[in-house]
Amino acid sequence: LKKDKITVYFIDRDGDQIAAPAAVGESLLDVALNNSIELEEGEKTATEAKVNSTLLDVVIDNDLDIAGFGACEGTMACSTCHLILPKDFYNKLPCPPSDEEQDILDMAFGLTDTSRLGCQVYVTEDMDGLEVKIPVETSDVRNIS
Ligand code: FES
């Protein structure tokens, strides 16, 4: 039986800013430990994702409120749809990023080894239960001169 809808979880950006006193020469890890800073996981939202739609479509279809997301409407010009995928899913994706996608990703804030543009990743049946992270910050690369 083929599914035409699956569940994808979006993990929110956690925009909390925490001020922490730091001693000169201290490592950032020590600053975090000495101030008992816990890096919280953002909130997780379950969405209904249509097979063959893009992750950008899923965000739009489910009315997810992600500031600035998808600013170029999927024309691979902005990088605001940057999402971070779990490694196993990233490796299983049918298509690696095209050169064009990679060029935009290279300009995205907080690029990771498993980053993709949400407008370029199509939902497949085996993505059921996928958890994607929304990066803390995004940039619209059209504004970078
Ligand atoms: Fe702009 Fe994906 S929506 S690059």
Dist. CA 107 → ligand 1 center (Å): 12
Highest-confidence range of 34-38, 57-61, 92-96, 137-141, by mean pLDDT? Answer: 57-61
Flag whether pLDDT at 41 surpasses 90: no
Q: Which residue from 78, 42, 43, 73 is spatially nearest to 59, judged by alpha carbons?
A: 73
Dist. CA 144 → ligand 1 center (Å): 15
Q: 59, 66, 69, 72: which to mutate for ligand 1, most atoms within 8 A of CB?
A: 72
Half-sphere exposure of 1 (CA within 13 A, CB side): 3
ipTM above 0.85? yes
Rounded to whole angstroms, the Cα distance separating 108 from 47 reads 24
What share of the chain has pLDDT > 70, as a percent?
A: 88
The residue whose C-alpha atom lies closest to atom 4 belonging to ligand 1 is: 76
Mean residue pLDDT of the chain comes to 86
Flag whether pLDDT at 54 surpasses 80: yes
